[in-house]
Amino acid sequence: MKLEIKELRKQYGKKLVLDGIDLTASGGECIGILGGNGSGKSTLLSILAGIVKANGGSFKAEVEGKARIGYVPQGTPLLEELSAKDNLRLWYDKSTMQKELSDGVLKLLGVDEFLKVPVRKMSGGMKKRLSIGCAVAGDPQILLLDEPTAAIDIACKDRIYAYVKEFASKGGIVLWATHDAHEMELCDECYVLKNGKLTKWDFDGDIHRLAQWIT
């Protein structure tokens, strides 16, 4: 499996947010995408998810059959008035949902622990884990994560890290927009998005050097 992004461009008015983005990822890889606020990370992922249309360039996934993409945006793509279980029912058939809750992805994410809780009463961590659970219904080959662990506790982060590792270990491709140094260390490769350009970054643990480059 392979994901290829070539000369991807996106412009809002006179501002060129993405200026010829090139990136290649293979099955089993987790790619970290770093950048300051407004650098275009969310725009890039939303284009790959098919939500926003690019102004130029292309991207394609070489997989067996039709490529399936799971997308977890920064916001909460859930129905607030419904419980976790009812949100899952929108994405899973009954038998698959029960299997995933007993020994699959939903169990790994701990979604089985708050099935009856309405989304409006959930913590941020619960919402993120449920969002990921909904996004991976149908077994996608590519997973797009837009800062999925922002402002959540360590226990929730650990659940998400465990799932991402498992997803990649089974041959999936992960594109992960993040600011967290620990998450950079979990990625096979890291890139910095700045002034519309994507540049490979060899992260050596020096946060100060990285911060200077991004800003």
Identify the pLDDT of residue 151.
76
Per-residue pLDDT tens digits of the chain, which is 215 residues long: 889 999 999 999 989 999 999 999 999 999 999 888 888 999 999 999 999 999 999 998 876 666 689 999 988 889 999 999 999 999 999 999 999 999 999 999 999 999 999 999 999 999 999 999 999 998 899 999 999 888 788 888 998 999 999 999 999 999 999 877 778 888 999 999 999 999 998 876 666 777 666 76
Whether the CB-CB separation of 88 and 134 falls below 8 Å is answered with: yes
What are 89's two structure tokens? 């029912």
Whether the CB-CB separation of 1 and 171 falls below 8 Å is answered with: yes
Distances (CA, A) of 33 to 66, 118, 174: 25, 32, 10
Domain at 141, CATH number:
3.40.50.300
R_g (Cα) of the chain, nearest Å: 17
Beta-carbon neighbour count of residue 11 at 10 Å?
14
**Domain carrying residue 33:** 2-214
Contacts of 172 (CB under 8 A, 6+ apart): 1, 27, 28, 140, 141, 142, 143
Domain count within the chain: 1
